[in-house]
Structure 1
């Protein structure tokens, strides 16, 4: 049988901003209980008192990345250099038996000083290059099925501490910052110790500032 505590946890998990505000004790428990009374009553299909909801809120056990906020802040303060590259174009191609061959043709003639990023999914692959290499991509992949393309993009890359894979919640903090700022990410490219976001040029200043301020809080 579903409990009030289970309902509270289900709601908080789907609303991470609310969850963090609750953990930081910057939210009114009484007001939140009244706000949750109707949805929890609907979930349990019976009336629920706000007092019971408030008790469940106070007993809620936050996820580890919120409990370990001190460790997470230390990692954020250790973030490395931020690099900005502009004038980029992104291509999405349908995966095929010949895609790797087309990719090899591109690399044979590619300018080593130009920006280059490649990621392969189950059904499609993305290539991000400097605008100067645009025609080379089109020539090399002329026999492939292009799903889409987008120009006027910029890439913001940040070096991550070597122990970043051991810290839960790190990527949550990065994406949360973008969400709070209302920044739409066109694409994300990640390696073990490097994190890159692609944004449309209109968001680049705002996105750069958001990443730069990650280690300020």
Structure 2
């Protein structure tokens, strides 16, 4: 049977800003409890008193990742270089039987280029190719018979080198996403490898995104 505490936890998990503010003791518990009366009453299908909600808020234990554990602090301090690449284009293509063959031709061309930016991600129904915009005409030609779902130019990529064993640290990416969202940065796409994390943004956001990530690192 669902309780007031369960409802409070469900609400806070979906609102990380609120959860973090609560963990830092900068929330007025009484005011928040009154604010949550209606949604929690709806969830439990019965009237709930603010006092019961306030008690649940005071007893709530946020995840350890929000309390700046030693492991998290060490990981953030050991973040590597931040690299920015501009003049990029994102091609979204519907998966097909011929896409791999056309992708192979694109790879052959990329080998002759001097350090182009290139990533390829294949999903269940579609694939993404992100590449230096100088190759746009060539890419469009090779994908001419494919179904292009979207083409977005004017993009920049910001890449961060992550410390070893970063995949074992819960909540590391949360710090980046929180800072970017807080600063109003709209992420066009996210790419990651084991030890590297890249966000793709439209050019209008690149300076703000770089500054936001720099703040996480510092």
Question: What TM-score range do you get, normalising by the shorter chain?
Answer: over 0.9
- How many residues were matched structurally? 216
1:124 counterpart (121, 126, 131): 126
Q: Summarize deviations over 1:27-54 as a string: whole Å, max 9, x none.
A: 1111111111222122222222211111
- Contact 1:73-1:215 within 8 A present in 2 as well: no
Q: Summarize deviations over 1:141-198 as a string: whole Å, max 9, x none.
A: 2221111100011111110001110110011111111110111111111100001111
Seen in structure 2, the aligned counterparts of structure 1 residues 121 and 112 have a Cα distance that, compared at 3 Å, is farther
Q: Distance in 1 between matches of 2:96 and 2:42?
A: 48
In structure 1, the residue matched to 2:83 is 83
Offset at residue 70 of structure 1 (A):
3.4
Offset at residue 71 of structure 1 (A):
2.3
Q: Distance in 2 between matches of 1:3 and 1:129?
A: 51
In the alignment, does 2:54 pair up with 1:54? yes
In structure 2, the residue matched to 1:194 is 196
Q: Distance in 1 between matches of 2:109 and 2:53?
A: 64
Offset at residue 68 of structure 1 (A):
5.1
TM-score w.r.t. structure 2 length?
A: 0.95
2:151 counterpart (131, 139, 149): 149
In the alignment, does 2:72 pair up with 1:72? yes
Offset at residue 138 of structure 1 (A):
1.3
TM-score w.r.t. structure 1 length?
A: 0.95
Q: Which runs of no fewer than 5 residues in structure 2 stay unpaired?
A: none
1:172 counterpart (171, 174, 198): 174
Q: Distance in 2 between matches of 1:74 and 1:10?
A: 29
